[in-house]
Amino acid sequence: MLKTLGRSTAALLCVLTLASCNSGDADEKAADLCGTTSSSDEAVLLREVLQAEGFSTKVYKPTGELVKKLERDLRSMRPEKQTYYHLTCSFQADTDTRLARASFSFAWAPRTAPQQPWFTGDVSYDVNGAPGVADHTKARLLVQCDKPGDLAAQSQKAYLSADVYYSFKDFEPAEGQAATDRKMALTALMTRRVTDALGCENKPLEKSPVVKPLPTP
């Protein structure tokens, strides 16, 4: 089951009741990074975040192309410098009266680079040991992805960085702890598809995501 632990009982109940992590076979998700079924955890969370009964999907990078470019970028990544973000999927609410869209991009970030502060007014998270942050318009998750073969050494120096941007227009989107938790959980589920496609040997997001908000420093 998708889990969230943290400061708000309401947020805890809100996220726990979203879905039961029955999104389908991991190989299918890796083969189609942007595809969802109506009952999948990703689709349930997308409807909650976009506040819509349905949404349309746009694919910018098919799975094979994204993997090829991320592996190329990892090989050439310079110390202390993040690689280019590849826009991969976007999901837009099916409505003519307002705009609500979620866009997912992926890159590599050096593990030695400072990670805070990321966003203004953000909430920090631990997601199955991976650091993340989110606010009402953005989310980011850094995941260790241990690659095999000739990329093994280079992958030990980098995080797979998932960035999500949310666009809202002509209405006030849901805010607060529960809404932020949903964005972080959705980021984790979509990132798991990429780690599966990349063949990360450590399987960093294999278990159902436990989304844990961290205390404010």
Q: What is the mean pLDDT of the chain?
A: 83
Confidence of residue 6 (pLDDT cuts 50, 70, 90): very low
Host domain of residue 152: 3-213
Domain count of the chain?
1
Global pTM reads: 0.84
Distance CA 12, CA 64 (A): 36
E strand or H helix at 192: helix 177-198
Asked whether the predicted pLDDT for residue 201 surpasses 70, the reply is yes
Per-residue pLDDT tens digits for 73-112: 999 998 888 999 999 999 999 888 889 999 999 999 998 8
Burial of 200 (0-12, 13-18, 19+ CB in 10 A): buried
pLDDT for 204-216, tens place per residue?
A: 999 888 999 987 6
For the chain, the maximum distance between any two Cα atoms, rounded to a whole number of angstroms, is 50
